[in-house]
Amino acid sequence: MSRLAQSLANAGAEVEILSLNPRKHHSDERASPLPLQAVDIDTSRVTLSREAPFVVARFISAAFRETLRSTLRRFQPDVVQIESPFLLPYARDVRSARVAFRSLNVEFRIWDALARNERNPLRRLALRYIASSLRRYETRHLNTPDAVIPISEDDAADFRDLGCTRPIHVVPCGITLSDLPAVQPEPRSVGFIGSLDFRPNQEAVAWIVDELWPRVPDAKLYLAGSSPPEWLRRRAAGKSIEFLGHVPDAEAFLRRMSVVIAPLFAGGGMRIKVLEAMALAKPIVATPLGAGGIDVTHGRDILLAEDAPSFAEAVNRLLREPDTAARLGAAARAMVGERYDSDALGRELLAFYKKT
């Protein structure tokens, strides 16, 4: 989100950011290169609301709503870009500007997939309830904004099938290629990184530990990501696995890896860390969903696998064939530079806003 905001500014737009600052992911607003206001909020509380299901109602804040209104009076923007369905309740507070809904996922699809994969009957029932409530909420608000900015063509098609009639402009996540320093990866190292308070990533790590890693001999696995639950740490104890949790520099972590893996089985949109690993010329093995939203081709710039035996075979191949790994990584970096340049995406989005 910050990368796209910066690219819009680079394209000539005047950009300010207003953000919720959850206690769980609290950050320093002074670190932003753009004007930013952050309103503290505790999203761990249980909140009931008539206007949104409880997973969305956690993000409703009277302080944020008042800050939004005062910002609109002072800044008077032409477009307010609302990020994620969790901030859609604030769309009704925007009266003097067009509203664009930036969607990183069709959110209820994630919970549908989590319910299908859940073995515990009670948890499966709870996940189905959440998915159902989110579906009603998201479909009800499909035409609330003036435009929809999905992250992938698949999500755009999904929105249209669900009944969206607003103008749609697809803006995938962007990247800025940096020079590649001559840093050799750690031999036979395999890395996974993702936010570990996100249920699909938790499922992925559990699958890696239980199903994948016993099939990859003589290698070292590194697991990284913010806010990992304790049960996941216990699950990964031993087994040639180093559970790092939060890492201060994700790029440095990725540079260390011989192979990067992304075995996701629920989710939508794009995997940002996959895109960033490709920009670093890392060879990647992913499930089709793990590489979702990225224009990849199996065997050209990535290896795709759907089950543990074929996934392990792909990882083992890249570990024993460094030339194949280097070829895939170089092709991945070239593709990212050609199709996902952040400033080019920002210019295209600004042109869409001007003509819509």
Residue among 37, 44, 42, 31 nearest 15 (CA) = 37
- Residue spans in the chain of domains classed CATH 3.40.50.2000: 2-174+341-355, 189-339
Q: Say which residues have a Cβ less than 8 Å from residue 271's Cβ, sequence separation at least 6.
A: 194, 262, 264, 286, 290, 291, 292, 293, 294
Does residue 190 sit in helix, strand or coil?
A: strand
Encode pLDDT of 17-33 as tens digits: 999 988 766 677 667 88
Are 77 and 126 in contact by the 8 Å Cβ rule? The answer is no
pTM: 0.78
| Cα–Cα distance measured from residue 205 to residue 277, given in angstroms and rounded to the nearest whole number | 18
- Whole-number pLDDT of residue 281: 95
Weakly modelled stretches of the chain, pLDDT under 50: none
- Whole-number pLDDT of residue 342: 94
Count the Cβ atoms, other than its own, within 10 Å of residue 203: 20
Fold of 2-174+341-355: Rossmann fold (3.40.50)
Sign of the alpha-carbon dihedral angle for 277, 197, 59, 120: positive
Fold of 189-339: Rossmann fold (3.40.50)
Encode pLDDT of 202-258 as tens digits: 999 999 999 999 999 999 999 999 889 999 999 888 778 999 989 999 999 999 999
| Cα–Cα distance measured from residue 301 to residue 296, given in angstroms and rounded to the nearest whole number | 6
Encode pLDDT of 101-115 as tens digits: 999 888 899 889 889
- Whole-number pLDDT of residue 29: 65
